Amino acid sequence: MARVTVVDHPLVQHKLTLMREKERSTANFRRLLKEIAFLLAYEVTRDLPVELVDIETPMTTMKAPMLSGKKLVFASILRAGNGLVDGMLDLVPSARVAHVGLYRDHETLQPVRYFFKAPSDLGERLVIVVDPMLATGNSAVDAVAELKAAGAKELRYLCLLAAPEGVARFHEAHPEVPIITAAIDERLNEVGYIVPGLGDAGDRLYGTK
């Protein structure tokens, strides 16, 4: 998988544009994030290995492909990551879910940890870490470090929007972890928000502003 994949599918791009609009309602924003998450999950799992197994159709027997590789864990960086995980679970209902609680100190922009819960067999699974916004990269770097410390060996990072600064910072710390995103925006502003972006993803998802 490429180090950075921008999912340029027209449906993803269309839905992202709708999400960026500032008058978009909370209900609409949440629904669109779930729909895009489904499509991004489709892309992030595109190269999963399959093996041929014997099955019986109503007509005959055949060899047919089934997933054969590592089982999946979706690791949500709280709280906005949950908005992505919801849509991803629609596509892969059997995936396990890990939660990493981090918030950004608004003065230092550094992540502060407050929660961590993950399946015990992380090392045998493909871990897809999710957060809608890869901004400074600090939370992403810290979440992946925590997951690695808990045993994760194979990881991917899935987001909706990334800033070039966040991509660079993330790959400085975790060069082997591919990033999958719907867009890479222009830059970060002075308080660490993505521009043009879509504002605070958590607030827009949960209507807390």
C-alpha to C-alpha distance for 150 and 148, rounded to whole angstroms: 5
Q: Residue 45 or 139: which CB sits closer to ligand URA? A: 139
Contact yes or no for 113/101 (Cβ under 8 A): yes
Q: Choose, by CB under 6 A, the member of 42, 103, 116, 193 that binds ligand URA.
A: 193
Residues 6+ apart with CB under 8 A from 47: 1
Q: Choose, by CB under 6 A, the member of 87, 111, 137, 197 that binds ligand URA.
A: 197
Among the listed ranges 27-35, 36-44, 116-124, 196-204, the one in contact with ligand URA (CB under 6 A) is 196-204
* 74 phi and psi angles, rounded to 5 deg: -100, 120
The full length of the chain comes to: 209
Asked if residue 133 binds ligand URA (CB under 6 A), the reply is yes
Q: What is the nearest approach in angstroms of ligand URA to the Cβ of residue 90?
A: 23
User: Among residues 27, 200, 25, 33, which one has the least CA distance to residue 130?
Assistant: 33
* 35 phi and psi angles, rounded to 5 deg: -65, -45
Q: Residue 45 or 82: which CB sits closer to ligand URA? A: 82
x-or-dash pattern for ligand URA, window 77-116, by CB under 6 A?
----------------------------------------
Could you list the residues that contact ligand URA (CB under 6 A)?
133, 135, 193-194, 197, 200-202
